[in-house]
């Protein structure tokens, strides 16, 4: 071969034979030296031994069919307990013959989450998916929904306002008229309602028997607390993060104060305040549902943490991005929504999902104020004296269910990172 040969005509050399294939890979990575080889063998033996012990306990000597705890004793795992109790673990004290309702509520919520995980849905479809999904979920759980007139008017007002703010640049005159009409109807209606001219009236959708939140339990409770906790905490956290970087001292001060205050106390203390102390301050006669109070506490708490994660993303953007947007004449809202947030959120996907996973599990703390989330119902299943003495099986099962959700989120985080950075990497 001469040096004068152009690079393109050189034949590529094949790699050394002993570095390819399974044997080559193993020789290179597992048995490259004596010490390395011994470590590999010891670890393999250890893993096989533990796996063997676990499978023996969990499968081969396990009891799947016993009808009482005493029949179970002596052998391996007592999965019969899970078989006996799984409906309670999953659905808590929800009326037994109505268990199809929380089941379908869980399926609806999962469908809603899976659909909104798809990037192609990130537009007006998301609003439809969450609107329909939430309505079906809560209709199934409550059985009856009363929508008061004032709420409808309020939604019209806010919806019109948001539509006008976001679409002002792109809307056709007729679309704009529709937003003005919504705002007008909402504002005038609310004033009339407050003055007492419009009657207290509500739409009742009541196809099923009413089940109050104190009877809810199990997986739907965990899913509702986590899903709606994070769905509200996310935009709220974004606002807090933006507020913390505001030039207006008052807004900045409020946001910093809120974040530091919330981060400075344990979630448990916030939950206890919401469940025990808040009612003391309310005028007598008014009650706010305990479940709702816990939900709000979770939202406030998660919001503060999410805000700090997002702030990290905002700070990672080069100053030039803000300047370019300014120089082009974009206003604050346009700059934030079109330039800053899309980039900042991309950067913080891993820590953001990490926070989400943390909060999914932290919802289990609501057991402290007597709400029966999934971990709490699993806990309660142990109380039955007929089945005493098998905590390992129950907690392992609960851990397995939590793991499925958390691992899915982790995989989704990976997918999102790749998907959102498509094309933008060099």
Partner 1 sequence: MAATARDLSKVESVIQLKGVNKWFGQFHVLTDINLDVKEGEKIVICGPSGSGKSTLIRCINRLEEHQRGDIVVHGVTLSNDVKNIDAIRREVGMVFQSFNLFPHLTILDNLTLAPIWVKKMPKKEAEEIAMSLLTRVRIPEQALKYPGQLSGGQQQRVAIARALCMRPKIMLFDEPTSALDPEMVKEVLDVMIELAREGMTMLCVTHEMGFARAVADRVIFMDRGEIVEQNEPEEFFANPKNDRTKLFLGQILHNH
Instruction: Please give the structure tokens belonging to residue 305.
Output: 């943490």
Q: What span, in angstroms and rounded, lies between the C-alpha atoms of 99 and 106?
A: 11
Q: Which residues pair with 78 in a beta bridge?
A: 63
Which backbone phi and psi does 164 adopt, to 5 degrees? -65, -40
Which of 132, 326, 370, 388 touches partner 1 (CB under 8 A)?
326
Single out the segment in contact with partner 1 by CB under 8 A; choices: 40-48, 133-141, 146-154, 338-346. 338-346
Residue 282 per-residue DSSP state: S
* DSSP output for 96-160: GGGTHHHHHHHHHHHHHHHHHHSGGGTTHHHHHHHHHHHHHHHHHHHS-EEEEHHHHHHHHHHHH
Which of 18, 175, 323, 419 touches partner 1 (CB under 8 A)?
323
- By CB under 8 A, residue 423 contacts partner 1: yes
Q: What is the dihedral of CA 183, 188, 189, 193, to 10 degrees?
A: 140
- By CB under 8 A, residue 169 contacts partner 1: yes
Task: Report 186-205 residues binding partner 1 (CB under 8 A).
Answer: none
We find the least distance from the C-beta atom of residue 124 to partner 1, in angstroms, to be 17
- By CB under 8 A, residue 331 contacts partner 1: yes
- By CB under 8 A, residue 249 contacts partner 1: no
Closer CB to partner 1, 54 or 180, in the complex: 180
- By CB under 8 A, residue 324 contacts partner 1: yes
x-marked contacts with partner 1 along 117-156 as a string, rule CB under 8 A: ----------------------------------------
Single out the segment in contact with partner 1 by CB under 8 A; choices: 217-225, 281-289, 319-327, 370-378. 319-327
Instruction: Please give the structure tokens belonging to residue 161.
Output: 């306002």
For the chain, report the end-to-end CA distance as a whole number of angstroms. 35
Q: What span, in angstroms and rounded, lies between the C-alpha atoms of 102 and 142?
A: 10
Task: Report 365-384 residues binding partner 1 (CB under 8 A).
Answer: none
We find the least distance from the C-beta atom of residue 325 to partner 1, in angstroms, to be 8
Single out the segment in contact with partner 1 by CB under 8 A; choices: 4-12, 88-96, 284-292, 330-338. 330-338
Instruction: Please give the structure tokens belonging to residue 235.
Output: 């935009």
- By CB under 8 A, residue 330 contacts partner 1: yes
Q: Which residues pair with 146 in a beta bridge?
A: 204
Strands 202-205 and 217-218: unpaired
Which of 343, 354, 410, 413 touches partner 1 (CB under 8 A)?
343
Question: For binding to partner 1 (CB under 8 A), which residues are involved?
Answer: 169-170, 318, 320-321, 323-324, 326-331, 334, 338-339, 342-343, 346, 423-426
């Amino acid at each position: 071969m001469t040096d004068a040969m152009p690079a393109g005509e050189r034949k590529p050399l094949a790699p050394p034979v002993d570095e390819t294939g399974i044997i080559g890979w193993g020789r290179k990575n597992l048995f490259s030296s004596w010490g390395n080889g011994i470590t590999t063998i010891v670890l393999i033996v250890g893993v096989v031994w533990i796996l063997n012990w676990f499978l023996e306990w969990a499968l081969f000597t396990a009891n799947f069919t016993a009808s009482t705890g005493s029949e179970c004793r002596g052998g391996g795992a007592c999965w019969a307990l899970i078989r006996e109790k799984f409906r309670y673990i999953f659905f808590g004290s929800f009326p037994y013959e109505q268990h199809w309702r929380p089941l379908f509520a869980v399926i609806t919520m999962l469908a809603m989450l899976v659909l909104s995980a798809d990037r192609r849905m990130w537009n007006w479809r998301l609003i439809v998916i969450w609107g329909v999904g939430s309505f079906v979920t809560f209709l199934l759980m409550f059985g009856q929904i009363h929508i008061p007139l004032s709420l409808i008017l309020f939604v019209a007002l806010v919806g019109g306002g948001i539509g006008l703010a976001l679409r002002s640049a792109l809307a056709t005159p007729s679309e704009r008229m529709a937003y003005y009409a919504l705002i007008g109807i909402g504002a005038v209606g609310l004033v009339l309602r407050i003055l007492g001219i419009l009657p207290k009236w509500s739409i009742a959708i009541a196809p099923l028997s009413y089940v109050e939140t104190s009877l809810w339990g199990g997986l739907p409770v965990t899913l509702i607390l986590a899903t709606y906790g994070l769905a509200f905490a996310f935009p709220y956290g974004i606002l807090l993060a933006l507020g913390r970087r505001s030039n207006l001292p008052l807004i900045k001060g409020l946001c910093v104060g809120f974040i530091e205050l919330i981060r400075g106390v344990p979630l448990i203390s916030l939950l206890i305040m919401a469940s025990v102390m808040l009612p003391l301050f309310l005028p007598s006669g008014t009650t706010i549902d305990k479940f709702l109070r816990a939900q709000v506490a979770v939202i406030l708490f998660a919001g503060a943490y999410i805000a700090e994660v997002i702030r990290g993303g905002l700070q990672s953007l080069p100053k030039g991005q803000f300047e370019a947007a300014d120089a082009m004449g974009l206003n604050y809202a346009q700059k934030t929504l079109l330039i800053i947030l899309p980039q900042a959120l991309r950067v913080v996907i891993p820590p953001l999902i990490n926070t989400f996973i943390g909060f999914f599990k932290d919802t289990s703390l609501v057991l402290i104020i007597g709400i029966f989330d999934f971990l709490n119902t699993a806990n309660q299943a142990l109380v039955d004296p007929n089945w005493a003495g098998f905590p390992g099986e129950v907690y392992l099962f609960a851990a397995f269910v939590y793991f499925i959700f958390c691992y899915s989120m982790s995989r989704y985080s990976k997918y999102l990172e790749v998907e959102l950075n498509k094309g933008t990497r060099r």
